[in-house]
Amino acid sequence: MGRSAAFFDLDKTVIAKSSALAFGRPFYRDGLITRRDVVKSAYAQLMFRLGGTDEQTMARTRDYLATLCKGWPVEQVRQIVAETLHDLINPYVYAEAAALIEEHQAAGRDVVLVSASGEEMVRPIGELLGVTDVIATRMAVADGRYSGEVEFYAAGPRKVDAVGELALARGYDLADSYAYSDSYSDRPLLECVGHPSVVNPDRALRKLAVENSWPVLEFRHPIPLGRRLRERPAVPVAAAALGVGVGVAIGIAWYGRHRRTRAATPTA
CA distance 206 to 215: 10
Q: Is 143 a catalytic residue?
A: no
- By 3-state DSSP, what share of the chain in percent is helix, strand and coil, each rounded to 5? 55, 20, 25
Tell me the Ramachandran region of residue 127: left when phi exceeds 0, alpha when psi lies from -120 to 50, beta otherwise.
alpha
Please name which of 162, 220, 218, 152 lies closest in space to residue 186, comparing C-alpha atoms: 162
Alpha-carbon distance 125 to 107, whole Å? 22
C-alpha to C-alpha distance for 41 and 124, rounded to whole angstroms: 21
**CB 95 within 8 Å of CB 223:** yes
d(CA 105, CA 111): 7
Per annotation, catalytic residue among 11, 110, 182, 186: 11
Q: Dihedral, CA atoms, 118, 121, 125, 127, nearest 10 degrees?
A: 90
* 11 catalytic per annotation: yes
Residues 88 and 23: beta-carbon distance below 8 Å: yes
Which residues are tagged catalytic? 9, 11
